[in-house]
Structure 1
Amino acid sequence: MNTTLQYIRYCIGALVLLLAGQSVKAQTESDALMIPKNYFCAAGIYTHNSWDHYWEGTFKRENLNLGTVSSNVFALGGNYGLSNRINLLFMVPYVKTNVSAGTLRGQQGFQDISLAFKWMAVKEEVGTGLLSLHAIVSGNIPVGNYQADYLPLAIGMSSKSIALRGLLNYQVGRFFVAGAGQYVRRDNITIDRDSYYTTGMHYTNQVAMPNMTNFLFSTGYRSLKFNAEATLTRMNTIGGFDITKNNMPFPSNNMEATAAGAIFKYMFQSIPGLEFTAGGNYVLKGRNYGQNLSAFGGVYYVFAVKKDKSE
């Protein structure tokens, strides 16, 4: 069998984790597969998000001055196999936001470049299956000159961040179950005003951003031709405050979201190295967060950068 065809399935999961670290609306980080040494995966991903209800604190409501809030995300990324156990990844999204009612206008532009180092620390046979443990260090650096203090239409939070994730995967035959936990450390951001009010008055243009945690559970089916998985994700900021009544969101709000989703991947055997993927997720419950419905699709292509001398 063609080596590239065998390895095409290793591309998508690692790449979309870079988007997933930013919010629940961005697919999954559950894939424990690695791209092999000296292979590169190039990816283009499109995501559409929309919501017309949101949680103001824990109170679910709609806002007729906003109507439906939506965003379109066009992302380009890559994943390189430094070794069979170490992958280097990057992703750059271009985001455009919009509302269907009222006088506010959306933003558009490049958001943050995401970089990640993924290490498969353990791979062992346990019982009738294969157990793997991964450690992922990732970070975001804003690249666009966008205004974070314009929620819910800001294209990002404009905060530098670094995150550490642990991922445990157990696979028996073609079926697997996985769990992941992540801690995100976020830097302060600068906003375009000299004072602001949260639970008290702040006479500064610096906003202390609460750190975040992300947890994920997934299960599904993997083969060389077709993959399908279901996911459940929980995101929570550590601290922050609730949106006040009839007010706009603020970057340092306490944001929580629980989302359920699905991912489907198809690998073309007639075109080695080519993969299509599609899926989506829906926010079931939140706090200071929109009840977002997300749908995404992507095209991926894996190729050998150079031949491994051991082959």
Structure 2
Amino acid sequence: MTNILKAFAASLILLLPMALRAQTDEDGIMMNKKQICIGPMYSHSSWDHYWEGTFKRDNQNLGTVTTQMLGVMGIYGITKKLNIVGNLPYVWTNASAGTLHGQHGVQDLSGWVKWLPVQQNIGKGAVSVYAVAGGSVPLTNYIADYLPLSIGLRSRTASGRIILDYQLGHFFATGSGTYTLRSDITIDRSAYYTTSLHATNRVDMPNLWSFNFRTGYRSNNMVFEAVASNMTTAGGFDIRKNDMPFPSNKMNATMVGAHFKYEFKSPKGLLVTGGGNYTVAGRNVGQSKAFDIALFYTLDFSKLPKGTRPKDNH
């Protein structure tokens, strides 16, 4: 991933859902050793009201702002307790009213390493603790200072996440917390005003906290889950009255939604995932309605005939 939020979130935390065995960087599922899962995903979000600071309003000069993303995501199991995840999105934006033109282009390459250091049975249930580290880097020189129609913020990021997962039978609950460091960016003007005048083209970007909770049904071939998530910037400032958003604004959002993941029995290895979410509260973000769909295929290199398997260094 994910509205102002969706247009930016891919460069911050990428909360897009993935396939069942093709786990995401936020759930309690791992790929087995020498398995790779890869496929396309699509997301769509739109909003016609947004929060200018804490004041909720619309804007006839924007109408409905739509952000769409088409991306490729892949996961590889180095071992059954160590996975790598990668994502590359193409994003395009549009406003239904006014004179602002939408933007489009390749956004940021993102990657994570996901490690499962703790897995313990407690009574009839099982507790797992995951550690995730990753980041993102912009691949093109897209315009960051063109919100809310920019495709991203063009900031390099580094993040650390802890995930706690509990499963009892088919019931599960997963919670995670993430802190994301964001690099400064440069914009195409020699001075700008936030709460004071800055005689520079360099923008100091606030870092980001995000939290995610999901719970529901999980079996070997399907997941149905309710999801709640929150994003809070560690700093920033509010959009000034009747002004455009700025990359270093405070951007807070709380979203609720539901997702599913399903693995087909035939053809074996084919997975589909989808869902939607709604922004219920925010600050300097759009009140978006969003949905996503993705299709993935799992390849198991451990089952290749001897002599054709990739070299195993583990």
Q: TM-score, normalised by structure 2?
A: 0.90
Distance, in Å, in 2 between the alignment partners of 1:21 and 1:262 is 22
Would you say the 8 A contact 2:10–2:108 is kept in 1? no
Would you say the 8 A contact 1:25–1:294 is kept in 2? no
Q: 1:290 to 1:102 in 2, by over 3 A?
A: same
Matches within 5 A, 1:122-271: 122-271=118-267
Give the residue type in structure 1 aligned to 2:36: F
Q: State the match for 1:69 in structure 2.
A: 65
Q: String of CA shifts for 1:14-53, please: whole Å, max 9, x gaps.
A: xxxxx76736874585421000110100121000010000
Q: String of CA shifts for 1:161-189, please: whole Å, max 9, x gaps.
A: 00000000000011101110000000000
Matches within 5 A, 1:76-91: 76-91=72-87
Q: State the match for 2:12 in structure 1.
A: 22
Which of residues 291, 299, 305 is equivalent to 1:303?
299
| Structure 1 stretches lacking a partner, 5+ long | 1-18
Q: How large is the RMSD of aligned CA atoms in angstroms?
A: 1.7
Would you say the 8 A contact 1:24–1:233 is kept in 2? no
Would you say the 8 A contact 1:181–1:214 is kept in 2? yes
Give the CA deviation at 1:265. Answer: 1.3
Give the residue type in structure 2 aligned to 1:247: D
Distance, in Å, in 2 between the alignment partners of 1:65 and 1:222 is 45
Are 2:274 and 1:278 aligned?
A: yes
Distance, in Å, in 2 between the alignment partners of 1:137 and 1:72 is 26
Would you say the 8 A contact 1:25–1:281 is kept in 2? no
SS at match of 1:82: strand
Give the CA deviation at 1:217. Answer: 1.1
Would you say the 8 A contact 2:12–2:157 is kept in 1? no
| Structure 2 stretches lacking a partner, 5+ long | 1-8, 18-23, 307-311
Which of residues 88, 93, 110 is equivalent to 2:89?
93
Q: TM-score, normalised by structure 1?
A: 0.91
Would you say the 8 A contact 1:23–1:235 is kept in 2? no
**When the two structures are aligned, how many residues end up with a matched partner?**
292
Give the residue type in structure 2 aligned to 1:22: L
Q: State the match for 1:102 in structure 2.
A: 98
Distance, in Å, in 2 between the alignment partners of 1:280 and 1:259 is 10
Distance, in Å, in 2 between the alignment partners of 1:295 and 1:250 is 26
Distance, in Å, in 1 between the alignment partners of 2:179 and 2:292 is 25
Identity of aligned residues (%): 49
Distance, in Å, in 2 between the alignment partners of 1:231 and 1:150 is 30
Would you say the 8 A contact 1:41–1:300 is kept in 2? yes
